[in-house]
């Protein structure tokens, strides 16, 4: 039985909140995929009996490919479709003190080693989302995958800084990932691979973080083998935004926003243009278009690729948030 994953990410947070069950691969309905499911699938193929839960590859038909798919899951080092997959998230701007508990830079470096020692492989979050939606079979993933995401798009995701008190705090997440890769040369070519969810509006970023939230590194990160750029909304509904303030850079939807998007964009629903740190305020078509579609279009113009994932800010929003 395949479990589709719905997840909430919090600071250094875990996931796996709730599941919807989809029959796939567990031929005998035991809740686990094992040698009995291989025999069950072979029996269905040979006898031409009813479909049951033997459609391992999700093709809609049970045939020899499903036998091979089940064998691959049982005998190879790959992910069972009944598994749960953790996703961890970090904020590169969180660097108070010089301990793993107070600095996400030190925490990330330590966590990478702990994950490696415990047999986890860091895979692209997009792969996990495909698997969760049933578009990727677990046989294409390692047996213990883990996703890593970064929130908000601070420069420290990609650009080193200076820290006299704690030199390790000067390292960007990019450098930490590169150091980890160099220390473990036998990692798969795709690992480690992480995702940075960035705030789109230049004006919102300037208000929230000043010059610490540049977009200058986005394309380089997207073109790398260790990080992809995804959508974290137009303005995070951040409470430092005292609007309405029009951002002409977000002008991709002229029929809705002829002069650009106004921030905080939740005001298109609530008529309150001061950020509330609550994405439940994004409650109608225009507010959603301003916060999600306009943001995606702007990010695409910088990284030259549609950001295929969005992580809605703030736990108040819904069960898929960060």
**Is 257 part of a structural domain of the chain?**
no
| Residue pair 54/62 in contact by the 8 Å Cβ criterion | yes
d(CA 29, CA 68): 18
The residues near 258 (Cβ < 8 Å, ≥ 6 apart) are none
Q: Is 45 exposed, middle or buried (0-12, 13-18, 19+ CB in 10 A)?
A: middle
Residue 268 has pLDDT above 80, yes or no: yes
Contacts of 118 (CB under 8 A, 6+ apart): 144
pLDDT tens for each residue of 40-80 = 888 888 887 655 567 776 666 788 877 877 777 666 667 87
Residue 204 resides in a domain: no
Q: Is residue 56 part of a domain?
A: yes
Tell me, what's the pLDDT at 4? 34
Q: Which of 60, 67, 55, 62 is nearest to 26 (CA)?
A: 55
Count CB-CB contacts under 10 A for residue 162: 7
pLDDT of residue 30: 72
pLDDT over 90 for what percent of the chain? 64
- Provide the number of structural domains found in the chain: 1
Tell me the pLDDT tens digit for each residue of 116-140. 999 999 999 999 999 999 888 888 8
- 34 lies in some domain: yes
Classify residue 7: in a domain, yes or no.
no
Query: pLDDT by residue (tens digit) across 213-249?
Result: 999 999 999 999 999 999 999 999 999 999 999 999 9
**Domain containing residue 45:** 25-79
Q: Round to whole Å and give the CA distance between 211 and 236.
A: 17
Kindly tell me the burial class for residue 249, based on how many C-beta atoms sit within 10 Å of its own C-beta (0-12, 13-18, 19 or more).
Answer: middle
Residue 50 lies in a domain: yes
pTM of the model: 0.77
Q: Quick count: other Cβ atoms within 10 Å of Cβ 270?
A: 18
> 242, 85, 65, 224: which is closest to 148 by C-alpha?
85
């Amino acid at each position: 039985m395949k479990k589709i994953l719905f997840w909430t990410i919090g600071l250094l947070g875990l996931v796996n909140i709730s599941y919807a069950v989809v029959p796939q691969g567990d031929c005998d309905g035991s809740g686990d995929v094992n040698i009995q499911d291989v025999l069950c699938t072979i029996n269905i193929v040979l006898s031409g009996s009813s479909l049951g839960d033997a459609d391992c590859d999700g093709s809609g038909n049970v045939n020899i490919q499903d036998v091979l798919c089940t064998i691959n899951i049982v005998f190879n080092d790959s992910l069972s479709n009944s598994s749960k997959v953790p996703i961890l998230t970090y904020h590169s701007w969180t660097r108070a003190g010089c301990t793993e508990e107070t600095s996400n830079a030190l925490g990330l470096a330590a966590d990478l080693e702990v994950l490696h020692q415990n047999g986890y492989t860091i895979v692209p979050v997009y792969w996990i989302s495909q698997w969760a939606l049933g578009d990727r079979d677990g046989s294409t993933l390692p047996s213990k995958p883990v996703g890593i995401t970064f929130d908000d798009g601070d420069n420290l995701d990609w650009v080193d800084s200076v820290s006299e008190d704690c030199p390790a705090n000067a390292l960007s997440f990019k450098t930490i990932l590169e150091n980890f890769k160099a220390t473990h040369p036998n990692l798969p070519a795709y690992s480690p691979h992480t995702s940075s969810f960035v705030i789109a509006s230049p004006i919102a970023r300037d208000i929230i973080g000043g010059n610490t939230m540049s977009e200058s590194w986005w394309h380089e990160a997207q073109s790398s083998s260790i990080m992809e750029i995804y959508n974290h909304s137009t303005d995070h509904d951040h409470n430092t935004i005292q609007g309405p303030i029009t951002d002409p850079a977000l002008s991709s939807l002229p029929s809705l926003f002829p002069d650009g998007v106004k921030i905080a964009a939740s005001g298109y629903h609530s008529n309150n243009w001061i950020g509330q740190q609550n994405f439940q305020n994004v409650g109608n078509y225009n507010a959603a278009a301003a916060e999600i579609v306009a943001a995606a279009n702007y990010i695409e113009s910088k990284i030259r690729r549609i950001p295929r994932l969005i992580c809605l800010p703030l736990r108040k929003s819904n069960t898929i948030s960060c």
